Chain A
Amino acid sequence: MSDSSVALAVSLEETTAAVAASPSRRRLPTEEAPWVRRLLITLAVGFLGLFLLLPLVTVFMEAFRKGAGAFIHAFADPAAVDAILLTLMVAVIAVPANLVFGISAAWAIAKFDFRGKAFLVTLIDLPFSVSPVVAGLVYVLLYANHGIFGGWLQSAGIQIIFALPGIIMATVFVTFPFIARELIPLMEELGNTDEEAALTLGASGFRMFWTVTLPNVKWALLYGVLLCNARAMGEFGAVSVVSGHIRGYTNTMPLHIEILYNEYQFVAAFAVASLLAALALVTLGIKSWLEHRYAGDLAAGHRH
């Protein structure tokens, strides 16, 4: 018995040695040739560096070109402060609005079957596929003073276009899919069983939602909120159309940056831009951490 096992061990060792010693080790069928691998990696890294990393570094370099004093000075401008406050204000309203809409839409789609469900799913993706400028223009067409609802709104004394409501509506439109899209696949995968369990145990619908549904999707929800917030603060196209660029009143950070740039105030432009970029980096950092920490709870963590 012991002899045969020794013999087996020896023969195994010989086999491994033979494999290691063979000069042209055979590749796995899914492995590329070394030169293909190197080429692909070089291409990917080169592209990312040139098109993504370099511009990002440049933003910060330009912002500090004339030193920290000039950088800080850019934020002393009341127009800059107003732009930052407006951007925060828009995010504070648009993100919770989309939180509610997103959960409702995801709930409706994941938990019920109804006519037109496929259409609703497609509709949720509309803001991803349509140009934000078009969205802005449609809002102008509908809600501006000469627009379809314009007369009625004017007589009611409500100003939407070239005012805060318009900016918020445009932002909500553009950022709608982020939360819904994150929740729908997860909720569909989870199904109804946990909710049914809660109901059979006597929980009311509201209780069930707070104690079972929400905890089940909380990481995906946070992830969606994060992406939604990043986009809400950075949105340019749709907001640009509806805002009217009224300095100190309807200028958000991205719009303010554009104005500064067009006025050749490069340091100020890049200083505000660096704030947006820093915000994006923080978002990215939290997002990566969430993905790493709660990979199992995020339905589509790898998708964005």
Chain B
Amino acid sequence: MELDIRNLTKTFGSTAALHGVDLKVASGELLALLGPSGSGKTTLLRCVAGLEIPSGGQILFGGEDASFKSVQERNIGFVFQHYALFKHLTIADNISYGLRVRPRRTRPTAAAIRNKVEELLALIQLPEYGGRYPSQLSGGQRQRVALARALAVEPRVLLLDEPFGALDAKVRKELRVWLREFHDRTGHTTLFVTHDQEEALDLADRVIVMSNGKIEQEGSPEDIYDRPATPFVFDFIGESVRLDIHVDKGRPFVGQQEVSIPRLPPLLFDGPAKLYVRPEHVAFRRDGEGLWATVVSLHRSGSSRRIGFRADGTEMIIEALTPADREPPRIGDRAALEIRAAGLFSGTA
């Protein structure tokens, strides 16, 4: 089922949580809503679910306006960060809840419900767990049960609110891989909210980066990481250092030195600008052409080494990332830096 969100706004009292969000989701797509807390991503998800009433705009499910439909009528599957399993019900009763609360006319028979539960338990790889209670399961298992419960009602859209947020790092990764495979097999249109960029970039077909109630950038994980469209995305996704530079006659300068940056669009302005550089895009040599700088810090972290350079004639620090087994320079050494990719934005703020 495709989803079309048009100019959606939401205000809580006097604070706006969403400022006119437009978003189209294709049928069967796995979409990540990524942003820091307070960016409006959860509010957007809850508006789609019908758990929050938008202040303006429209939400269309498969071309049909669902803006005024109740939660129950929307037929969505929602998975909560803290699972929200009913702790007084067994796993099987949790999964079948959505079927059992249906009015008699549309309720499947007891046997059909039992079959459905069996089928879903097999799908989430917990076939023997139907008779247990949520408290007897681990966090990762509970979240899979929550997913099965949401799927039991055959929802048109699956909505996941920080689904791995309450799990520890290892389980998170396992479950992430599992969810990707699960999605590829079942093909539900899925929106999930996360503040974890690794999760979003790893899992989603398409990533929507949000901040302050607006969409900053949408695109494939590669687009988002390799070609951040705004300073916010550069700051938020991956690592980067920000350099305050200036542009003179269309050429960028760090202090007094001109820097050459490949694949930069022509600069149509002069004056102060911000240059965002990722550490893995900085290479250094002992001689030759480049941005001359002095080594000021060395820091080993896992399999790589982080080297801090101060650009000549400035106080600005540029970081480079090299493999840890490569012979490092010493503090005080001079080197010519080559910036292989960077983002440049006008202004100072």
Contacts and interface: CB of A to CB of B under 8 A. Distances in A.
Contacts of A211: 86, 97, 101
Interface string B76-92: 11101010111110000
A201 B84 contact: no
Contacts of B76: 200
A211 B150 CA distance: 17
Interface of B: 49, 51, 71-72, 75-78, 80, 82, 84-88, 97-98, 101-102, 149-150, 152-153
Interface string A45-64: 00000000000000000000
B84 A199 contact: no
A207 B51 contact: no
Contacts of A196: 51, 71, 78, 80, 84
Contact of B84 (A194, A203, A215): A194
A8 interface: no
Contact of A202 (B51, B72, B86, B88): B72
A194 B101 contact: no
A12 interface: no
Interface in A194-236: 194, 196-204, 207, 211-212, 215-216
A201 B80 contact: no
Contacts of B72: 199, 202-204
B88 A200 contact: no
B51 A199 contact: yes
Interface of A: 193-194, 196-204, 207, 211-212, 215-216
B34 to A, nearest CB: 22
A200 B86 contact: no
A194 B86 contact: yes
B197 to A, nearest CB: 25
> Which 6 pairs show the lowest CB-CB distances between chains A and B?
A201-B98, A197-B84, A200-B78, A203-B101, A193-B84, A215-B88
Contacts of B78: 196-197, 200
Given A196-B51, A196-B78, A199-B71, A204 B101 contact: yes
Contacts of A204: 72, 101
B11 to A, nearest CB: 15
Of the candidates A197, A211, A212, the one having the most CB atoms from chain B within 10 angstroms of its own CB is A197
Nearest to B97: A201
